[in-house]
Structure 1
Amino acid sequence: MTVVRALARPLLSVIFVVQGANAIRNPEPLVPKAQPVTDRMMPMVKKVAPPQVSDRIPDTTANLVRLNGAAQLLGGVALASGKGRRLAAGVLAVSLVPTTLAGHPFWLEKDKTVRNQQRISFMKNLGILGGLLLAAVDTEGKPGVAWRATHGARAAKRETKRGAKAAKREAKQLAREAKHAARLAKAELS
């Protein structure tokens, strides 16, 4: 792991660890802002989720805030430690979307100063989202699964062709040797 990655992951994850822990311990201050988002998103989520998942989704906004906080806390710790870092970055990216929509709805603000502050915070979260997306696809310079699958298939095809050509050459050589042996046997009989 490079020094940059060793520094960047904990720096990127610290906000999620701190805010996730706060949301778990004390969700009530976040509920009023989260309520409009959860009211709109949860019916859609419950509709597309399988019944076994849909039945387990919390009904109260406070518990949804806690669940999002738990996802952020666990994802932040995993990203910072490097254990399951790509999955953790993906989970954090997904959890950041409702957090940003609920926490920084600048389009609803009437006061220009507050709207500007909310817009800046919204854009900062977009920047963090971009960093999380990069972390989610970072293979640390090693080929990813898609690359390995594509190149593995090509290598297998190449090796199969080489094997077929070698077998063909071998068969021709054996045929020549058999012909030669037949001639020798015929000459001895004559």
Structure 2
Amino acid sequence: MSLLRIAGRPLLASMFIAGGMNSLRNPQAVAPVAESVVRPATERISALPDDTEQLVRLNGAVQVVGGVLLGLGRFPRLSALALAATLVPTTLAAHRYWEVEDPSGRAQQRIHFFKNMSMLGGLLITADDTGSAPSLLWRGRHAARDLRHDARLVRRSVRATARPAAAIGGGRAKLGV
């Protein structure tokens, strides 16, 4: 594993662990802000709980677990996808800069919004990173290619040995042996 992955994953994960712990410990502080995203989500997805504080805690728990796993390098692709899934509603709820009237407040929220978008980009890159190991799709394609190649070699060798064997067999039949 490269030094960049060893250092980069925990750095990327640190914000999610800190933010997730805050959401777990103090969901009532985040719930009013999250309400604008929670209501439409719970109306569309019946499996989600209706209580905003429960969803904030659930989001925080996913961020903590995903952040720890990403930081440790365990299931980095899956944990990056889970963190990306939590980052979208978090960003849409907390950093709605287009709704802020105050110019300085709007600028601050815009900075946070695009910071989160940058983190989302990093998570998507991490989710696609195979860690220098070939992906399952690549392995499958190459295994199939290798099988086709081996089958052609077997077919050629069978043809190459079949002709002389047939000639010898035909010669023996003519001789009556």
- Specify the TM-score bucket, using the shorter chain as the normaliser: over 0.9
**Residue 88 of structure 1: CA displacement?**
0.3
Q: Separation in 1 of the partners of 2:138 and 2:45? A: 33
Aligned mates of 1:170, 1:114 — CA distance in 2:
82
Number of residues of Structure 1 aligned to a counterpart in Structure 2 = 177
Aligned match of 1:90 in 75, 81, 100? Answer: 81
Deviations 1:92-148 (A, max 9, x none): 000000000011000111111111110111000000000000111111111111111
Alignment of 1:163-174 (within 5 A): 163-174=154-165
Between the aligned partners of 2:33 and 2:169, the Cα distance in structure 1 is: 87
Q: CA deviation at 1:181?
A: 2.5
SS of 1:74's partner is: helix
Match of 1:103 among 82, 85, 94: 94
* Cα distance in structure 2, aligned partners of 1:12 and 1:45: 29
Match of 1:181 among 169, 172, 175: 172
What's the CA shift string for 1:4-25, capped at 9, x where partnerless? 1000000000011111011011
- Listed one character per residue, the Cα deviations across residues 50-87 of structure 1 (whole Å, up to 9, x for unaligned) are xxxx2xx3220000000000000000000000111110
Question: Highest Rg: 1 or 2?
Answer: 1
Q: Indicate conservation of the 8 Å contact 2:97/2:110, yes or no.
A: yes
Greater mean alpha carbon deviation, residues 61-70 or residues 164-173: 164-173
With the length of structure 1 as denominator, give the TM-score of the two structures: 0.89
Aligned to 2:2: 2
Aligned with 1:154: secondary structure?
A: helix
Corresponding letter in the other structure for 1:131: G
| Partner in structure 1 of residue 31 of structure 2 | 31
TM superposition score normalised by structure 2:
0.95
The list of structure 1 runs, each at least 4 consecutive aligned residues, that deviate by more than 3 angstroms after superposition, is none
Give 1:170 shift.
2.0
Structure 1 residues without counterparts, runs of 5 or longer? 47-53
Structure 2: gaps (5+ residues): none
Compute the displacement of 1:33 (Å): 0.6
Aligned 1:21-170 pairs, distance under 5 A: 21-46=21-46, 54=47, 57-170=48-161
Structure 2: distance between partners of 1:59 and 1:168: 70
Once residues 132 and 7 of structure 2 are traced to their aligned partners in structure 1, the CA distance between those partners, rounded to angstroms, is: 17
Percent identity of paired positions between Structure 1 and Structure 2: 40
